[in-house]
Structure formats: C-alpha cells, structure tokens
Structure 1
Amino acid sequence: MTAYDAERPVLPTEAALGDAPPRLGYEVFIVLAISLGQSGVYALLRIIERLTRPQPLGQQSSTLNQSVTPDRPWLDLTYQLVNIGFALVPVLLAFYLLDRTNRPAGATIGFDLRRPGFDAWFGVVIAACIGIPGLGLYLGARALGLNTEVQASALASTWWTIPVLVLSAAQNAILEEVIMIGFLFTRLRQLRWPIVAVIAFSAVIRGSYHLYQGFGGFVGNMIMGVVFGLIYLRWKRVGPLVVAHTLLDVVAFVGYALVAPHVSWL
C-alpha cells in the first residue's frame, strides 16, 4: 500500500452517516431534477417525438452547440459563455451538499489537485480506450437507422468557435462526472443502495439524457456510464473521468467542426 492509498478517502458507505437521514434522498432528487435527470426526461420526450414523425429516425439529425445569434458574433459569444456558466450551477450545489456531510467534497470524490499527473495520463488512456469503440458504435447505429445524424457543432465560424467548443466539452465533463459519479455514488451508498444498483441507476440516467440522439447514443453512453462507474469504484477519483470526458467531447466537437465540411460519413 502506498502513502497515497493510506490517506485517500474511501467511497462513502451506509456507515458514513449511520442511519442516513431522509433528506439525502431529497438531495438526490433535487440535484437530478434541476440538471441531468431533467435532461433525461426531455430527451425521452424528444425520442418519442422523433419516432412518431413520418421521417425515419436514421434520416433525422441532432444538432449540438448551436449559435443563438449567428449574425451578431459578440452577442452569440456572450450567450455561449452564459449558457456554459449556468450549466455548472448544479455542480456547485452538489459540492455544497456534499461539503455538509463529507468535507472537503473535492477530496471525497477525487476532484481536486492532489494527483494532477495521474488524473491527466489516466484520463488520456480512458479516452483512447472509449473513443474508437464509441465512434464505431455511432456509425453502426447510423447504418442500422437506430440513430440520428449528430451534428456536433453548428456554431458560426468565428475566432472564438474552437475555444467555446473546448469550454463546452469541459462543462459537459464536469457536470456529468461530478453529478453522475461523484455526487450520485456518494449519496446512494449512504442511502444503502447496493453497488450494482448504484452503477445501473447512474448508467441508465446517463444513457437517458442522450436519447435525443437515438438508441445508439443511449446504449453507447449507458456502457460508458458502467465503465466510468467501475473505474471510480477502483480508484475513487472523478478527476481522470473529467479529463477523459473532456477529451472525448473536444475531439467530437472540434473534430466535427474541422472535418465534417470535407467528408460525407459523419
């Protein structure tokens, strides 16, 4: 056992608070209801709407990172930055709630600067292992008509397009990994959920808010949720997952913006 292994926080279990107060369940509901759980409900409604169109699902498209005022770049930039900022508010709420029972929250879930080197290189490894199979799953689902065409960037071409796409990728990663892994795993274990149920619940919610893309997006992200959950249980750190998720989205967003105009298969 290394010195770090001896001092790192373990995943909180039902013993952390004894008999967990009912408010912990309310916390989970509130955090999910104002963030990714809400997105999952809207995505479910979206896929129902898509499936009831005359046009087959495989001939439809989903657009991410859209311009709000493409004819006014500075106002559009302001919209993009404000959207990114407000999207991270549920993360602040999750940290505030965790800090009340598991101080410091960053150390509890492994989202801090104690091991930046480990978080960085392990995040790169995770991204490399997930990225290629993920692209293959997307293309396969597209070929089978089970997924929409995902247009990962529809921002106007300006000097700030790529920086905003990188910020958007980081925002997605922080929001999803802090809430779906760090916060949810901590609270559900304190509520005495079996670990298998915690992993399954988190993975299904992760898949659900990607349903708007089609069934390929649902399955692919659910698998990613299981893998990320298992990695978190082993290393007790959200940091590498945030790095990996950020890299995956940067490649998807920026890569699409640069490559899509020149190829027909994306």
Structure 2
Amino acid sequence: MTSVLSTTPTTRSMGRPIPLFVIAGVLLLRTGLLFAVGGLALRTSGARAGEVMSFVNLWIVPVDLISIYVVWWLLRRSGRSLGDLTGRFQGRDVAWGLLVLVIGMIALQGGGFLGNLIAFGGPPPVDNSLPAPPVWLGLWSLLLIPITIAVAEELVYRGFGQKGLQSAIGRWPAMLVVAAFFGLQHAALSMTSGEMMLSRVIGTFIAGVAFGIMAMRFRTLWPLIIGHWLLDVLGLGLPMLMWSLS
C-alpha cells in the first residue's frame, strides 16, 4: 500500500516548469488583493473595527475565487490541472485532516500567544463595544468562508507556492518563504491596529510553518484542505454565527 506520507511526484504531475517570478507573483497577488480589500474597508468604514471585519469577511470569498482561478489557469498553461496539485482524494484523508486540525490548533494557539506577547506584552485588549454582525454574515462565515479559504490558501501556498519554490531554493527555504507570505496576508485582516497586525502575522507565520512541514510529508493536499476547513469552521465560522445570534 502506498503511504499517504510519500512525497514522490507522479509523471503526469510534473508538467512544464513554472518560472520563479510567476510563483512569486501569485503569492504577492493574493497578499495584494487582501490588502486592497482591507484598505477599502478602512476607507468606507472610517476605521470602525466591526464594519471593517464585516466588509473583509464579505469580500474575502471573491479574493479566494480569484486565487483559485489564477492557479488553475497557470497550471493549465503548463500542462497540468488542479487535480495534479491536490492529488487524488481518499477516505483516509479525512482522518489525516483531523490530525492536521489538532496540529493546526496547537500551532495557532502557540503562535497567537507569542504574537500577543511580542505585540502587546500579554493578552490583547478586548473591545466589548463592537456590535454583533447580522445573522446572514454569521451564516456566510460558517458555511462558505471556511471552504473558499481552505481551498484557496492550500492551493496558493502549500500547493502552487511551496511545491513550485522547493525545486529552485530547496524544501526548507521554500517552506519558510511561503509561511512568511502566509503570515503577511493575515496583516490585511487586522488593519485597524498596528499591534494586532504584528500579532496576527507572527501567529499565522508559525501556523504556516506547521502546515508547510505537514505539506512536505503528505502526498496530497486534501488532509491540509480538510484540516484547514475544520480549523476555520471552529475558529471563525461558529464564533461569528454565535456572535450574530447574540
């Protein structure tokens, strides 16, 4: 039986090599799109944190879809497909996805603690004045956002980015570069506070390192996509829905 942890690529998945600058461009594109959304949210909301969060949560889905389309288009031009990047889904990927969820939660908790310690010197301040979001946004955050984020980020970062860079700069440097971009993009989701941006970048960089290491071990992206989806359901979707219902 072939191990899910094998990293040997198939012949079909090799395709034509994609230039390094194109891979870097895709990583920068997603980060730039998120900063554009965050900047537009600040301009339209007057820096009110609740409105910024609602705006970003609404528009992150189109950003995810654009990211997925760009990766699909570039793979198609190189003679490959999204299936070559994700690998074939198997039932055991669900079990591995649960392991990814546990490791991801530990990494996010540890990274968040370190980020808050560096940025705030301890726990971040809590703003209890934020109004509850509408129920439709809570449902949007539970039912749709975790799916598009998990697919888009795993395709862009651990799939297209990390696998593309490692042949040029090595496995570990590629993982660290991609984790840095993964962390940087999350600064765009906390643009109302410089300290929160710093904390978010540090925390998600550490989570990106954990996901990057797992990506080097798994044959397919499906365990990472499943684990990432569950992580966002529990850490983003459910809290947003419960808050909106309050």
| TM > 0.5 | yes
Change in 2 beyond 3 A, CA 1:162/1:17? closer
Match of 2:201 among 210, 214, 218: 218
Map 1:80-159 → 2, pairs under 5 A: 80=58, 84-101=61-78, 103-107=80-84, 109-113=85-89, 115=90, 117-132=91-106, 134-135=108-109, 137-138=111-112, 141=116, 144-145=121-122, 147=124, 155-158=133-136
Identity among equivalent positions (%) equals 19
Number of residue pairs aligned between Structure 1 and Structure 2:
227
Displacement after TM superposition at 1:145 (Å): 5.0
> Is the Cα contact below 8 Å between 2:101 and 2:230 reproduced in 1?
yes
Match of 1:33 in 2: 28
DSSP-derived class of the 2:74 partner:
helix
Query: Deviation per CA, 1:209-252, whole angstroms, max 9, x where unpaired?
Result: 22333333222211111111111111132111111111111112
Change in 2 beyond 3 A, CA 1:62/1:204? farther
Change in 2 beyond 3 A, CA 1:167/1:104? same
Map 1:124-203 → 2, pairs under 5 A: 124-132=98-106, 134-135=108-109, 137-138=111-112, 141=116, 144-145=121-122, 147=124, 155-158=133-136, 161-190=138-167, 192-203=168-179
Shifted more, 220-229 versus 34-43: the winner is 34-43
Match of 1:227 in 2: 210
Change in 2 beyond 3 A, CA 1:170/1:126? same
1:120 partner letter: V
1:39 partner letter: L
Partner Cα distance (1:154, 1:238) in 2: 35
> Is the Cα contact below 8 Å between 2:154 and 2:224 reproduced in 1?
yes
> Is the Cα contact below 8 Å between 1:207 and 1:218 reproduced in 2?
yes
Unaligned runs of 5+ in 1: 50-59, 69-78
Query: 4+ residue stretches of structure 1 with deviation over 6 A?
Result: 40-43, 150-153
Structure ID, larger Rg: 1
DSSP-derived class of the 1:33 partner:
helix
1:28 partner letter: I
> Is the Cα contact below 8 Å between 1:11 and 1:233 reproduced in 2?
no
1:10 partner letter: P
Q: Which has the higher helix share?
A: 2
TM-score, normalising length from structure 2? Answer: 0.71
TM-score, normalising length from structure 1? Answer: 0.66
Partner Cα distance (1:148, 1:4) in 2: 46
> Is the Cα contact below 8 Å between 2:108 and 2:203 reproduced in 1?
yes
Unaligned runs of 5+ in 2: 43-47, 191-195
Shifted more, 134-143 versus 246-255: the winner is 134-143
Displacement after TM superposition at 1:161 (Å): 3.2
Partner Cα distance (1:156, 1:262) in 2: 8
- Give RMSD over aligned pairs: 4.2
Query: Deviation per CA, 1:128-178, whole angstroms, max 9, x where unpaired?
Result: 2332553465367277357565999953024x7325433111111111111
Change in 2 beyond 3 A, CA 1:35/1:154? farther
> Is the Cα contact below 8 Å between 1:203 and 1:225 reproduced in 2?
yes
Displacement after TM superposition at 1:203 (Å): 0.7
Query: Deviation per CA, 1:98-125, whole angstroms, max 9, x where unpaired?
Result: 2333524423x22543x1x222221122
Displacement after TM superposition at 1:257 (Å): 2.7
